[in-house]
Amino acid sequence: MSLGRFCATIRGVLLHVNGDDHEVSAPDHWTLLEVLRYRLGLTGSKQGCDKGDCGACTVLLDGRPVISCLVLALEAVGHQVTTIEGLLPAHLAQGGSGADPLQVAFDRCGALQCGFCQSGMILSARALLKRNARPSETEVREALAGNLCRCTGYTQIVQAVALAVAEATGGALPPRAWEQPPEGA
């Protein structure tokens, strides 16, 4: 690591990320997002604004969604960090196959257009489903209100969460507007 003169104190910290322990050295003022992206190479968490407005950097800290550009790396010491990269291996480790059901639902519902907001969006949804297995549409929208998406208009994202819920609870997804035959057809 090469640094210029204006870099602050470099400190080694121990982070628990996706079940692994990482010893990382980074400037004191670096955020968790910066350490994840530029030290650990976990680039699935995105930076959209670097000031807590967009939610693209959302990760889970002990299972709760946090905006990782507003959390110093030092503050994450002693906590379990889950990033988007952690979901698939965790799902496999629990005996599942393929990606996490929420990730699959986002894919199947077309919720991923540019995909830039989705790691944060999926982790916010993951945290919601952990505390509420059958959320209403309003509850889904409220839980995702800290994650801006510019592509979808949120419709297919809300449908994706509904699909994941339906698949987990045996419910059915109502047909989407464009799937219904036109009246008089």
Partner 1 sequence: MAARDRHGLEAPWGEFRHIGKATPKVDGLAKATGAAVYTDDLTLPGMLHGKTLRSPHPHARILSVDTSEARRLPGVLGVLTGKDLPVRYGIIPWTQDETALAVDKVRFVGDPVCAVAALDEDTANAAVRLIRVEYELLHPYLDPFEALKRHDPAIHEDRKEGNISKRVELSFGDVDAGLAEADAVVEGDFYFHGTTHGAIEPHCALARYGADGVLTLWSSTQITHYVHRALARVLGMPPHRIRVVQPCLGGAFGGKSDPFSLEFCVARLAMLTGRPVKMLYTREEVFYAHRGRHPMHLHYRTGARRDGTLTAVDAKILIDGGAYSSYGLVTTYYAGQLLTGPTHLPSYRFDSTRVFTNKPPCGPKRGHGSVQPRFAFEVQLDQLAEKLGLDPIELRRRNVLPPGSPTVNGQRVTSNGFLECLRRVEDASGWRLRRGRLPRGKGLGVAGSMYISGTNYPIYPNGMPQSGIQLKVDRSGLVTAFSGGNDIGQGTNTIVQSLVAEELGLALDQVRVVAADTDLCPVDLGAYSSRGTFMIGNAVLDACRNLRGRLIDAVAERWKCDPRRVLFMDGAVLDREDPSRTMTSVEAIQHAEERFDTLGSTGSYNTPKLGGDYRGGTIGASPAYSFTAHVVEVEVDEETGRITCTRAWIAHDCGKALNPLLVAGQIEGSAYMGLAEALLEDHSVNRFGLHQGPSLLDYRMPTAVDTPELLALIVESLDPEGPYGAKEAGEGPLHPSIPALANAVHDAVGVRLCHLPFTPGKVLKALRELRAREAPERLVVGKG
Q: Which of residues 80-99 bind partner 1 (CB under 8 A)?
A: 83-85, 87-88, 99
Stretch that binds partner 1, among 51-59, 60-68, 70-78, 162-170 (CB under 8 A): 51-59
Distances, alpha carbon 131 to alpha carbons 71, 81, 127, 143, in Å: 23, 17, 7, 11
Which region, judged by CB under 8 A, interacts with partner 1, from 70-78, 127-135, 142-150, 166-174?
142-150
User: Considering the rule CB under 8 A, would residue 151 count as an interface residue with partner 1?
Assistant: yes
Residue 9 binds partner 1, judged by CB under 8 A: no
Q: Does 152 bind partner 1 (CB under 8 A)?
A: yes
Does position 177 interact with partner 1 (CB under 8 A)? The reply is yes
Nearest distance from C-beta of residue 31 to partner 1, angstroms: 12
- From residue 162, alpha-carbon distances to 56, 104, 134, 170 in Å are 21, 12, 9, 11
Q: Sheet containing 20-27: give its strands across.
A: 20-27, 10-17, 80-82, 58-61, 64-67
Q: Indicate which single residue of 17, 66, 73, 149 sits in contact with partner 1 (rule: CB under 8 A).
A: 149
Give the nearest distance from C-beta 143 to partner 1 in angstroms: 8
Enumerate the H helices of 94-179 as residue ranges: 101-108, 118-131, 137-143, 155-169
Please state, as a whole number, how many other Cβ atoms lie within 10 Å of the Cβ of residue 158: 19
* Shortest Å, Cβ 154 to partner 1: 4
Q: Is residue 114 close enough to count as binding partner 1 by CB under 8 A?
A: yes
Residue 6 near partner 1 by CB under 8 A: yes
Q: Which residue has the tokens 């010491």?
A: 77
Q: Residues 91, 153: contact at Cβ < 8 Å?
A: no
Touching partner 1, residues 19-48 (CB under 8 A): 27, 37-38, 41-48
**Rg (Cα) of the chain, in Å, rounded?**
18
Q: According to CB under 8 A, which one of 90, 148, 166, 168 is a site residue for partner 1?
A: 148
